[in-house]
Chain A
Amino acid sequence: MTRRNDPRWPGLRRALHIAPSRKGVRDDVDEELRFHLEGRVDDLMARGMTRAEAEAEAQRRFGDADRIGAELATIDTAMHRRQRLGEQWSAIMRDLQLALRGMAARPGYTAVVALTLGLAIGANTAMYSAVRSVLLRPLPVAGLDRVMALRVDMPKLDLLGTQMSPAEIVDWTKRPDLFEGFTGITSASMTLTASGEPRRITVARTIGDFRTVFQLHPALGRVYEPAASEPGQHRVVVLSHAMWREQFAGDPLALGKSVILNDSSYQVVGVMAEDFRYPRRAALWMPYVLTPRVFEPAQRGTLIMTPIVRVKPGTTPEGLRTSLRSELAAWEERFARSRYTDESIYRLRPVPIAEFLSGELRPVLLTLLGAVVIVLFIACANIASLQLVRTTGRLREIAVRAALGAGRWPIVRQFLVESLALAVIGGLLGVALGMIGLMLLGRWDGSSYEALRDVRLDGAVLALTTGITLLAGLVFGVAPAWRASRVSAHEALKANGARGASLGVGRHRFLQVAVVGQIAMTLVLLLGSGVMVRSLARLLDIDPGFSASNAISMQLSPPSARYAWAQRPALYHEIIERVRALPGVDAVAMTASIPFAEMGLDSSPFDVIGAAPLPDGRKRHANAIPVSSGFFQTMGIPILRGRAFTDADRADAPLVVIVDEQLAKEYFPNQNPVGQTINHFGRGLTIVGVTRSVHQLALGAAYKAVVYYPLSQQPFPTAGLVVRSEMSPDVMVPALRAAVRSVDPLLPVYDVQSMPQRVERSLGARRLAVTVLGGFAALALLLAMLGTYGVLSYSTSERARELGIRMALGANPGDVVTMVLRNGLTLAVIGILLGVTAYAAVGGRVLEALLYGVGPGDPLAMLAGIALLSCGAALACWIPARRAASVDPAVTLRAE
């Protein structure tokens, strides 16, 4: 029997992780049974049997030795397997203990690695959560991929992504052959009268298969039927979950009770599920009542409803678009209009609902997602090189173990366990940091980013994070483990005593690749955030067209039950007078649309009296904005020609309007618009002035033609109050509220913001992108510098002997610095070249959607990014270079 199978040494065999083979097990069993039978034969012969008799009797008594032997072998094999597993497990536990003890012994190093990984994983966790809840699963709706919004484009009217009239929605809902469901949704503000001050809330009104399209399962009660939109039905509402808790303290008996909206009573029939938030700000949902007026031909131009459909399984947006086009061809015959078939006139564009809802957050989140993946790669490369360098310090220990007969696997296992332990610590830290990140993201001050407020860390993201953590642990654990497993006792032990073995050429190559990779990826992030910063600066340089400082604005909404259309101008004038009387008010005005307030601008067609129609069927159109006489002065909008409105432009005075520069340019080229008459909404209006154009929704967006009406001649429902004052808003806002209340205590005042605030919020997505991307780039730069520094320190320490000899032979410290610097900077230059290439290949294209006024290859941003990275790399190289040069050669050589 060979020594390996020597059954006398089971303990040693186990200690050496040598599993008994199946054959070994069977041999042992047979040996045991043979011993038994032979002993039994001796017993029987002692009682007087012959050998032959005894052998037969022993075998008879024992039974089927073969079968029993097989049974024993099975038992023993199972036992050995379990023992081996147990031994592996306890070995892993031992490795883990060792690893944790090792980490505790180097708290600084461990903290750096854990923090690096934690930041990278935290950033990833936060971004995955945001992408998941904003882009992938914005609504908790079954079959969300079959829900699409229809954008209505009318290119000749310059109307892109507009909506549908209620009548057209009704037409479509009669086509169940095309869709599983078709609904139209419009948001409106209504005044909720309950205990306390009246409040403006957002109300969603729907027509058609609202319930089917979103597969709604209300938390309580029911969602009304499509038939609830018929005129003369009960007035019913479905409350949002938040509204239910707020108004009814979450009482299930709320069903059947009423709420008072715009002074009318509505019955609560249901409470929406908590996580259904569409439209996002909706406090309640109700049927849109289809009065006969809705179907009048003129009302087909009232484009107020967002059409949302649930398509049949297997329908793509493209397929839907095609079938809609042929459908519209049939419409042409029915309505005898060429409007629908010509895509240059009327186009229906299906957009998946997730894309529709995420809007401008989509490119931002996708860019940031790319950035966090890069950060994670940098972190892994960084830690891998740090770990690999640290491995060299332990090569002697490993060599000794190898020499004592430890196999390759236990050594690899020890390194992997250590890396995974580090990864898990980093991962835990990362989840914590990710949650903090989400909290910060949720507080992001941007009016249109409420979607970010509801981002939560869920199970799917946690699973992904766990996967990434373990993968990261493997990625940065494999290099050192592989290196360690290849140590031969001979190699390590022959190497020079004190410092042990070195990594050798191949491993240096790995470190160099890691450094180059980190520098290249960092540069991609630096260049990306550089152009984003430049783009934001360009936007901030844009003059909004009005002077934003010192202006406070708010919205008020007189209830129509108490203020008839004709009474409104008087109410507005009274508010203006009260506010004007307040101390500290320099100017005050009212407008139907505060710039940047998203108050809903409607573009409507008009004619110029005495002018020929525009060629190719295009229509003149403009946004109509009624304003009070002091508006232009209050907003600091200069009058370029003619005059501003005055108090003399009363309802009974000649009808006048002021147009903006954009309208003048578009429709009165080379003419003076002042004195011309336009026909708008069927009335003849004389242009008395031209103002400068104002950005209405976003800095840098294209101007749209605007017609300003005097307040008295064009009543409007919801009013914006604009006040210019040197006083702080903290003082001014309560005073303004009190002034409005003194006119009518039940008038809701809401959306109070200073003008600079409004402009700033319009930049939300871009600011978010710049800030977060910049943060990632800074983190990447720090990591790349640390990585470069670590690797260079290592390689100079390894070359200490050589450098010492050089200095002893007369090289001065300057030469040594140059040598080390050249070494490191070569890597940096390769990294920079690679980084620029990678950025040119992908980075720029991704960013294009987010940029304003600069190209992705903006030279200033490129130079700044490269310069910043070069300085960082130089600093990271210079410190080890200095250190190498300052060492006394005599000391180094003696140490060897």
Chain B
Amino acid sequence: MAATDLDLVRGTLDLMVLKALSWGPMHGLAALRWIERATNDRLQIEEGALYPALHRMEQRGWLSAEWGYTDANRKAKFYRLTAAGRKQLTHELSRWSRYTEAVGLVIAAEHAL
């Protein structure tokens, strides 16, 4: 994978995780399941990259983590979006739409300028 592709995927992974967590606190696996469902399994998430992303975002203060129990009474680490994380999500969303818009324009261009 080229460096730019990786950056793209990493950046979008953060965005997707933040978006997933905006629905409420969940553990890493739940966030992954949410993304898979939301994309109809069309996006292959590299699962190994998910946890470093979560921990890094926790370190940056976008997420806070707490151990809790699942419905099946299984102990799991739950992540919650902090205020800073919510702000980051907004920021990432607008950046993403600017980006896709720009790429879209390029793709839609019909003649040489």
Contact A68 B52 (CB under 8 A): yes
Give the shortest distance, in Å, between B107 (CB) and chain A (any CB). Answer: 31
Is the interface on chain A under 10, 10 to 19, 20 to 34, or 35 or more residues?
A: 20 to 34
Q: Which of B47, B58, B76 lies in contact with A61, CB distance below 8 A? A: B47
Q: A10-B66, A35-B75, A63-B47 are in contact. Are A75 and B55 (CB under 8 A)?
A: yes
Q: Does B29 contact A40, Cβ atoms closer than 8 Å? A: yes
Q: Is B91 an interface residue (CB 8 A)?
A: no
Residue of B32, B46, B67, B76 with most partner-chain A CB within 10 A: B67
Known: A10-B67, A62-B47, A68-B48. A35 touches B77 (CB 8 A): yes
Q: Are A68 and B59 in contact (CB under 8 A)?
A: no
Q: Is the CB of A62 within 8 A of B33?
A: no
> Is B27 among interface residues, defined by CB-CB distance under 8 A?
yes
In the complex, which residues of chain A have a beta carbon less than 8 angstroms from the beta carbon of B28?
Answer: 32, 36
Residue B23 interfacial (CB < 8 Å): no
A residues within 8 A CB of B52? 68, 71-72, 75
CB contacts (< 8 Å) of B77 on chain A: these are 28, 31-32, 35
Known contacts A61-B47, A72-B52; A35 and B59 CB within 8 A of each other? no
B47 partner residues in chain A, CB cutoff 8 A: 36, 40, 61-63
- Identify the closest chain B residue to A63 (Cβ): B48
Contact pattern, A 61-81, Cβ under 8 Å of B = 1, otherwise 0: 111110010011001101100
Q: What is the CA–CA distance of A43 and B30 in the complex, to the nearest angstrom?
A: 11
Cβ-based interface call for B111 (8 A): no
With CB as the reference atom, state the residue of chain A lying closest to B59.
Answer: A79
Q: Determine how close the nearest CB of chain B comes to the CB of A28; give it in whole angstroms.
A: 7
**B42 near A: Cβ within 8 Å?**
no
- Of the candidates B33, B56, B68, which one forms a contact with A75 in the assembled complex, judged by CB atoms under 8 Å apart? B56
**Contact yes or no, A31 B59, CB < 8 A:** no
A72:B55 contact, CB within 8 angstroms = yes
Q: Which of B10-56 contact A (CB under 8 A)?
A: 27-29, 32-33, 46-48, 51-52, 55-56
A33 to B74, CA, bound (A): 13
With A and B bound together, what is the CA distance between A10 and B68 in angstroms?
11
Name the CB-closest residue of B to A40: B29
Q: How far is the CB of A430 from chain B (nearest CB, A)?
A: 41
What mask results when residues 33 to 77 of chain A are scored 1 for a CB within 8 Å of chain B, else 0?
101100110010000000000000000011111001001100110
Q: Is A437 an interface residue (CB 8 A)?
A: no
- A40: chain B residues within 8 A (beta carbon): 29, 47
Residues of chain B within 8 A of A68, CB atoms compared: 48, 51-52
User: Please, which residues of chain A bring their CB within 8 A of the CB of B59?
Assistant: 75-76, 78-79, 82
- When the two chains form their complex, are residues A76 and B55 in contact, meaning their CB atoms are under 8 A apart? yes
Of the candidates B46, B55, B75, which one forms a contact with A63 in the assembled complex, judged by CB atoms under 8 Å apart? B46
Q: Does A363 contact B (CB under 8 A)?
A: no
A442 CB–B CB distance under 8 Å: no
CA distance A850 to B30 in the complex (A): 87
Complex CA gap A75/B63 in Å reads 14
Asked whether A7 is an interface residue with its Cβ less than 8 Å from the other chain, the reply is yes
Contact B76 A35 (CB under 8 A): yes
- Bound-state CA distance A31–B76 (Å) is 8
Q: Which of A8, A36, A72, A76 contacts B29 (CB 8 A)?
A: A36
Q: Give 29 A-B contacts (CB < 8 Å), ordered by A residue.
A: A7-B75, A8-B67, A31-B75, A32-B27, A32-B28, A32-B51, A32-B76, A33-B51, A35-B27, A35-B29, A35-B74, A35-B76, A35-B77, A36-B28, A36-B32, A39-B29, A40-B29, A61-B47, A62-B48, A63-B46, A63-B47, A68-B48, A68-B51, A68-B52, A72-B55, A75-B55, A76-B55, A79-B58, A79-B59
New A-B contacts (11) at CB < 8 Å, excluding given A32-B28, A33-B51, A64-B48:
A7-B67, A35-B27, A35-B76, A36-B51, A40-B47, A63-B46, A63-B47, A68-B48, A75-B52, A75-B59, A79-B59
A-B interface, 8 closest residue pairs, ranked by CB to CB distance from nearest: A63-B48, A39-B29, A79-B59, A75-B55, A7-B67, A32-B77, A62-B47, A36-B29
**Footprint of B on A, CB under 8 Å?**
7-8, 10, 28, 31-33, 35-36, 39-40, 43, 61-65, 68, 71-72, 75-76, 78-79, 82
Task: Report which B residues bind A (CB closer than 8 A).
Answer: 27-29, 32-33, 46-48, 51-52, 55-56, 58-59, 66-68, 74-77
